[in-house]
Amino acid sequence: MLLSRIVPNLKRFEIYPSGIHLKTSMSQHDISNIYKFAWAQLNNQLQIIRTTPNFNELLGVQTQLLYLPLTDVIDEFVGSESALQDVLDGKLPHFHIDNVNRGERDGRARYFRFTVTRYNPEQPADGLLLGIEDVTQTGLIEQQLTQERNELRLLQRELFRMNSQLQYIAATDMLTGLANRRHFDEELDRELSRGLRFGRTTALLFIDIDNFKNYNDQFGHLMGDEVLRHLGMVLKKYTRRIDTACRFGGEEFAIILPETSAAGALKIADRLRQRIAVEPIHSVYLNKTPPLVTVSIGVAIAPEHATTPIALVRSADVALYAAKKRGKNQVVVYERAIE
C-alpha cells in the first residue's frame, strides 16, 4: 500500500486483518518517537473500523471507538464530510486539519494534525486512512510565531504612525501649522521644474506683516506669536488645495501657486490682503480684542520673471520690498523697473 505517502513513520507499523500494530523490532527511541503518531482505518461510511494501539491514548479518549462515526470522535471533522467524500472518490488526494487544540495534558496545551487519505488508492472500497500526529511542539512554535507576527504588525503600525508624525514635524512650522522653510524649498523646486517642463506658469507670493516689530513691542512676544498663528490660519483658510502656504521665516510667509498666471496671482494676493486686514485676532493674552494687522505682498511669476527657485524668490522679495516702500498694505507684481 502507498500509506507511507503521509509520513515516513508509517514504515514502523505492520497492518494485519486484526489491526494495525507496531513492529516488534523497534528501539526505545523509536517507540517513544512513534507515539507521536497514530492511525485509524475508516470504512466508506466514515466509521472507525481499525486503529493502532496508541490511538486512544494519543487522542485522549478512553471509550470504545470501533464503528463510531469519525465526527462523533473528533469534533473538528464536523462540516468536513463533503471533503472526506471527495478524498474517498479520488477527487482530492488528501485532506488536512492543522494545529487542532485538543485540550491540556500535564498542564500544557496539546496540538494535533489530522491527515486523511485513501487506505488503498487502487481500492476505494477499502475506505480511508486517518493519521493523527502530535504537533504540540510545532503548534506552540506556530502559536508563538503568530503572536510575534501580531506584535510585529503592531510595531510596524506604530512605526508607520511615528514616521508619519516625524515627516509632519520635519515639514511643518509648529507655531503656525504651515509648511516650514525646508518643505518650501523642496516644493518650490518641484513645482518650478514641473511648470517649466510642461510649459506652465508658477506664481510665488511673498508676504510680510506690516509693523510687526511695533506690535511685539506694544503687546509682547506672546501676542506676537498669536498674530503669527492667526495669519497661518487665514492663509490656510483662503488658499487653494493645490497651493503651498509656508512660514518662510520670522514674520515672512510665502505661497506657491502652481499653474497660476500673473493676473490670477494678483487676484489671489489682493483677496488675501483684504481678508487679513478684516479678520479679527482672537487672543488669550489680552482682555480686549487686539488691533488688526495688515500685510504687504510681493508677486513673482516663473518663467516670466525667473526660471530658478533662487531667482524667483529674489524677484518676489524685490516686489515685497517695493510694496513696503509704497506705503504697505498693498500688492506689487515684480518688474525690472523696481529693482
- CATH code (residue 224): 3.30.70.270
At 32, is the pLDDT very low, low, confident or very high (cuts 50, 70, 90)? very low
Residues 238-255: tens digit of each pLDDT: 999 999 999 999 999 999
At 33, is the pLDDT very low, low, confident or very high (cuts 50, 70, 90)? very low
236 part of a folded domain: yes
- Long-range CB contact pairs, 311-316, < 8 A, 24+: 312/188, 312/192, 312/202, 312/204, 313/188, 313/204, 313/206, 313/254, 315/204, 316/204, 316/205, 316/206, 316/254
212 part of a folded domain: yes
The predicted model scores a pTM of: 0.59
**123 plus 189 within the same structural domain:** no
At 205, is the pLDDT very low, low, confident or very high (cuts 50, 70, 90)? very high
Q: How far apart are CA 66 and CA 52, in angstroms?
A: 12
At 309, is the pLDDT very low, low, confident or very high (cuts 50, 70, 90)? very high
**222 plus 114 within the same structural domain:** no
**93 plus 198 within the same structural domain:** no
Q: How far apart are CA 107 and CA 82, in angstroms?
A: 36
**111 plus 193 within the same structural domain:** no
Residues 113-169: tens digit of each pLDDT: 899 999 887 777 788 999 988 888 776 677 778 888 898 899 889 988 988 888 888
Share of the chain above pLDDT 70, in %: 86
As a whole number, the mean pLDDT across the chain is 84
Residue finishing a domain among 84, 103, 134: 134
The distance between the two most distant Cα atoms of the chain, rounded to a whole number of Å, is 112
Strands 244-249 and 252-258, by their bridges, are antiparallel
Q: How far apart are CA 338 and CA 333, in angstroms?
A: 10
CATH number, residue 12: 3.30.450.20
Residue 273 in this model has a pLDDT that exceeds 90? yes
156 part of a folded domain: no
**125 plus 213 within the same structural domain:** no
Residue finishing a domain among 134, 166, 185: 134
**238 plus 334 within the same structural domain:** yes
Question: Which pLDDT score is estimated for 207?
Answer: 97
274 part of a folded domain: yes
**119 plus 238 within the same structural domain:** no
**322 plus 201 within the same structural domain:** yes
Question: Which pLDDT score is estimated for 134?
Answer: 85
Q: How many independent structural domains does the chain possess?
A: 2
DSSP-assigned letter for residue 291: P
147 part of a folded domain: no
**202 plus 120 within the same structural domain:** no
Question: Which pLDDT score is estimated for 255?
Answer: 97
159 part of a folded domain: no
Question: Quick one: average pLDDT of 225-244?
Answer: 93
Q: And the C-alpha cell for 53?
A: 494501539
Question: Which pLDDT score is estimated for 337?
Answer: 62
Give the range of the structural domain holding residue 103, as residue numbers without chain letter: 3-134
Preceding omega of 303 cis (within 30 degrees of 0): yes
Question: Which pLDDT score is estimated for 4?
Answer: 42
Q: Which range scores top for mean pLDDT: 21-35, 97-111, 246-260?
A: 246-260
Residue with cell 523697473: 337
191 part of a folded domain: yes
Output 34 or 224, whichever has higher pLDDT: 224
H-helix or E-strand spanning residue 100:
strand 94-105
Residue finishing a domain among 105, 134, 163: 134
**104 plus 190 within the same structural domain:** no
Residues noted as catalytic: 251
At 29, is the pLDDT very low, low, confident or very high (cuts 50, 70, 90)? very low
3-state percent helix, strand, coil for the chain, nearest multiple of 5: 45, 25, 30
311 part of a folded domain: yes
**9 plus 81 within the same structural domain:** yes
**90 plus 189 within the same structural domain:** no
